[in-house]
């Protein structure tokens, strides 16, 4: 055999060997995948769902999300279509209180009745968020939103005092100040045919959140947005976009994509800014006579002047006191609350404005309540005023019922749990659909009607607390539930011109 024949033979041998290795690797992967998912598939197949045909290789994805390939639908956000598709699918199984959606070979189990939601949210061990929350890790790390088990318990215990009544009361002037800025901006827009309030509300929310969390005035409403604010807004939008793109779920594919590189660039801007603020705040605290002295937030006396402490200040106090949280941990929590706070607040306010604007009789009752409290006085709101805004509290709750800031959220099921007559298997994702849950006629008759009186004290008696969970519920409920709730009251003049009557910061009820 000459040299050429030997070389060709070796090439064939190498090619055959590589092909065999690849095929064996794929075979082993599918065997492992089958063994690992056998338990999940066994019980997920028993859950109510649409029957799939052999050619539905993508599971229910090909049935529910075909609009993504329909070019006629490009004028509406695919996120809206996705939500409507899920709502429509789950609505076919309302009587079952639970259903399953197959994404390829992976079950997404949906619950939307108070009885089934209570089992999951009130479970003492099923506290881990669904895997898609991990897509937020490059930005917010493993803070209170995305951590679990011991780290979550330690952080939760540490952060709870930061939302003490007296700590939050210190920031009421911030709410008043930023709302007055928003009021001025809206009053200057009264001659326009219409006003897009969403970006205005977002900027106001960011100003409030940044001053409360970072202790920094950003002046987002009155000045061109800083690179930090622009990056926060971009990352919020892009994080949800990534969740809608399965080919970007893999971290490696995401990092090498143009989308991932833009995301990383904005993450760097946010982290650099947060690290700089942490450094500055740390130097300020070190200048104090006794930096290890804990802040006593419970001895507040009305009229006593004292320095209000932002969340970052309180975390740094913990850092100095016993080093229970590192600077990286502080950055995680600050970024977490900045993301969660401004997004949920701005969405909730925008929907509330829209609903109040469509119902003039609701506006009349709001005005009557405010007139009783303030009269012609343009003073800032006090805590006592907030306690007296009973009807306004009902309006905000009803707005969040119809249009919750988070229409669905997920948990990773780590142990088999029984719901109704079904087993939700270990390894599956359980989605709580608040949008459907809040429209259950069993608890909210005529559910599509905007009726704030549903939430009066008399009408709320006997209602299952898990029928209404705009901020989740159970051990892992939102730590700042209703903390930064403010709303703008509007009036329609001649059915064409939107103008401001009054803007007030509303902090309805703080529940730990």
Binding residues: 478
Query: Sign of torsion, CA 255 261 266 271?
Result: positive
Task: Answer yes or no: are the C-beta atoms of 205 and 174 closer than 8 Å.
Answer: no
Task: Answer yes or no: are the C-beta atoms of 204 and 179 closer than 8 Å.
Answer: yes
Task: Answer yes or no: are the C-beta atoms of 424 and 413 closer than 8 Å.
Answer: yes
Tally Cβ neighbours within 10 Å of residue 104: 12
11, two tokens: 């090439």
- Residue 410's DSSP bridge partners are 431
Q: Where are the alpha helices (DSSP H) in 45-148?
A: 61-64, 78-91, 114-121, 137-140
- Which residue ranges are tagged as binding site for heme? 478
Which residues contact residue 355 at a Cβ distance below 8 angstroms, ignoring those fewer than 6 apart? 362, 398, 399, 402, 403, 450
Query: Contacts for 297-302 with beta carbons within 8 Å, 24 or more apart?
Result: 297/161, 297/164, 297/166, 297/167, 298/164, 298/166, 300/166, 300/169, 300/170
Three-class secondary structure of residue 106 per DSSP: strand
Task: Answer yes or no: are the C-beta atoms of 457 and 158 closer than 8 Å.
Answer: no
Three-class secondary structure of residue 336 per DSSP: helix
Length of the chain: 512
The CA distance from 280 to 283, in Å, is 5
DSSP 169-203: HTTHHHHHHHHHHHHHHHHTTTTSS---HHHHHHH
The CA distance from 86 to 41, in Å, is 21
């Amino acid at each position: 055999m000459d040299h050429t024949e030997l070389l060709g033979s070796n090439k064939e041998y190498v090619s055959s060997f590589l092909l065999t290795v690849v095929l064996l690797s794929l075979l082993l992967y599918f065997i492992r995948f089958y063994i690992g998912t056998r338990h999940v598939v066994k019980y997920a197949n028993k859950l109510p769902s649409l029957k799939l045909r052999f050619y539905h290789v993508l599971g229910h994805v090909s049935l529910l999300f075909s609009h993504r390939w329909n070019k006629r639908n490009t004028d509406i956000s695919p996120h809206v279509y996705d939500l409507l598709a899920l709502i429509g699918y789950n609505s076919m199984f309302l009587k079952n209180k639970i259903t399953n959606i197959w994404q390829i070979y992976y079950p997404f189990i949906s619950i939307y009745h108070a009885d089934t939601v209570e089992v999951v949210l009130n479970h003492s061990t099923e506290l881990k968020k669904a895997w898609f929350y991990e897509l937020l890790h490059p930005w917010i790390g493993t803070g209170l939103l995305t951590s679990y088990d011991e780290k979550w318990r330690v952080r939760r215990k540490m952060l709870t005092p930061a939302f003490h009544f007296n700590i939050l009361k210190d920031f009421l002037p911030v709410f008043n100040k930023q709302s007055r800025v928003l009021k001025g901006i809206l009053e200057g827009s009264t001659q326009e045919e219409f006003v897009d309030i969403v970006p205005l509300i977002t900027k106001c929310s960011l100003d409030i959140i940044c001053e409360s969390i970072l202790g920094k005035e950003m002046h987002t409403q009155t000045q061109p947005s800083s690179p930090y604010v622009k990056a926060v807004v971009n990352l919020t939008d892009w994080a949800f976009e990534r969740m809608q793109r399965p080919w970007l779920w893999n971290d490696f594919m995401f990092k090498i994509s143009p989308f991932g590189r833009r995301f990383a660039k904005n993450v760097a801007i946010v982290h650099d800014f947060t690290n700089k603020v942490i450094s500055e705040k740390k130097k300020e605290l070190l200048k104090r006579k006794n930096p290890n002295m804990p802040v006593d937030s419970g001895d507040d006396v009305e009229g006593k002047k004292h320095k209000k402490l932002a969340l970052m200040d309180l975390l740094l106090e913990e850092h100095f006191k016993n080093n229970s949280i590192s600077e990286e941990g502080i950055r995680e929590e600050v970024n977490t609350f900045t993301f969660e706070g401004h997004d949920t607040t701005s969405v909730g306010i925008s929907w509330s404005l829209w609903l109040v604007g469509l119902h003039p009789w609701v506006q009349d009752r709001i005005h009557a309540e405010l007139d009783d409290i303030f009269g012609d006085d343009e003073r800032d709101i006090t805590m006592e005023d907030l306690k007296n805004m009973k009807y306004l509290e009902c309006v905000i709750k009803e707005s969040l019922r119809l249009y919750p800031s988070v229409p669905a959220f997920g948990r990773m099921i780590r142990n088999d749990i029984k719901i109704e007559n079904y087993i939700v298997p270990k390894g599956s994702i359980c989605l709580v659909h608040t949008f459907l849950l809040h429209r259950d006629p069993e608890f909210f008759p005529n559910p599509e009607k905007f009726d704030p009186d549903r939430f009066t004290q008399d009408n709320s008696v006997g209602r299952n607390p898990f029928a209404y969970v705009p901020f989740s519920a159970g051990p892992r409920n939102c730590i700042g539930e209703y903390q930064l709730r403010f709303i703008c009251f509007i009036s329609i003049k001649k059915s064409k011109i939107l103008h401001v009557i009054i803007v007030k910061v509303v902090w309805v009820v703080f529940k730990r």
